[in-house]
Each structure stands twice: as C-alpha cells, then as structure tokens.
A = this chain, B = another copy of it.
Amino acid sequence: MTLTDTNSWTGIREVLLRRIHNRIWQPGELIPHEADLAEEFGCARTTVNRALRDLAESGLVIRKRRAGTRVAINPPQRATLTIPIIREEVESLGRSYRHSVLERNLRALPPMLHGAFQVSLSEDVLFLKTLHFSDERPYAFEERHINLDAAPDARDLAFNEISANEWLVHNAPYTHGDLSFFAVNADETLCRKLDATTGMALFAMERITWAGEMPITHVRLIFAPGYRMRTEI
C-alpha cells in the first residue's frame, strides 16, 4: 500500500488514476463532481480541478460542462514528439555535428507547394539542399524552400555557418505548421549522399510552417538508414 498525499494535485491525480486503472470507475462511467471529490479529499475544488484537468489533457477522462466528467472509452494514445534542431539532436548523442550546403538558388515555387504557399506565387523562393553529418557520417538530407517575403534577410545568407533551420527558428518564428512522417525508397542520389543502397527504406519527415497567414518554409528531411524516431507514452 503506497501512501499518497491527497492534498497535492499530483497525489489526487494518482488516486484518480488508480481508480480508473482498477476499474472502480468503468470506461464511459460518470465520476463524481469536483465538489464531491474535493470534499472527499478534504481539499479545495481548485486542486481537484487541476488533477482532473491533467487527466483530461492526457485523454483519460472527458469533461463537459453540465454533463460532468466521464472515463474515456477509448483513451487515445497521445505521444508528444520532440523534434529538435538536428545539431542539438546529434550533439546530445555526444557526436560532433557539421552540415554542408550542397545547393542554393532561387527558383519558382514547385507546383507541389502551391496549395500550401498560397501567398506570393509570383515570387521566387529560396531553395536549399543540405546534408547533415554526425561524426562525419551522413545523418540526414534536407531539401528546403524558404519564402523570402517571410524572411527577406535569408536572401543574403549562405547558411554555411548556421543551418537554415536554426536561423529560421531565431529569425522567423512560426505560429503553426503541418508535420508528417512517411517512408521513402532511396534513389541513386540519396544513396550517394546518405550511404544507403538503392531502394533502401528511409524515414522521412516533411514540415510546413506559417507565421499567421504567411508561409515561412517547407522542409523535407530524409534520414540515413536505421533512423528511428522514439518517444515515451
């Protein structure tokens, strides 16, 4: 029997969690009101509220005004992925980081992105191909489009010192974005760059970010063979 501090919101959360896990409160079932729980635990309603709010954020209970709080029927698995700047990811593994800009030019927006980049279609965008290294071994291959309306200063930068990713984070913060993950087969170009063999399955990520209505950048990252994205749930 573990003692739990039922005056702290985390303690109360543990107790509630246990009741859900032990099926004292069945999936779909209505649980007592905040006021009742507060009385039971001898604490303020605010404290119970904090605990329940936390459970609701993780998807374990569903709260509705007037309808009360129910144990979720199919608690969705929510996983929080932290997508670091590649330099930090590499360095946090104790490896040395380096990147190399393979290509840099202005070009028309590729048709693929017309939907996302609805602004400034007539304007050229800055296109970059970059290879990221971990301990001098290829780590990821990056293709990026930068909207120069959103980041005019980028026009004069080579991105040899600081990576475009890092520069943009500091100089053109985004408000929201789309992110997707998928698998691609290595073509011959990728093979040479990433030390892969032709056709090998590679993990890829694509991201588009905006600042309000203004598109900032599109980036497609393809990781070297063996890459796994991990998280805890």
Contact = CB atoms under 8 A, between A and B. Distances in A.
B77 A79 contact: no
Nearest to A169: B74
A132 to B, nearest CB: 16
Contacts of A207: 77, 233
B21 A227 contact: no
A121 interface: no
Interface in A185-203: 185, 199-203
Contacts of A232: 176-179
B169 A183 contact: no
Contacts of A202: 183, 201
Nearest to A181: B229
For this chain, the copies found in one complex come to 2
A180 interface: yes
A118 interface: no
Interface string A81-94: 11111001000000
A45 to B, nearest CB: 14
A76 interface: yes
A21 to B, nearest CB: 5
A91 to B, nearest CB: 11
B182 A228 contact: yes
A74 B201 CA distance: 30
Instruction: Specify which of A88, A181, A228 lies most central, judged by the most chain B CB atoms within 10 Å of its CB.
Output: A181
Interface of A: 20-21, 27, 59, 74-85, 88, 166, 169-170, 173, 175-185, 199-204, 207, 209, 211, 227-233
13 contacts: A20-B173, A21-B211, A76-B83, A77-B82, A79-B81, A176-B232, A177-B232, A179-B230, A181-B229, A182-B227, A182-B229, A183-B202, A200-B201
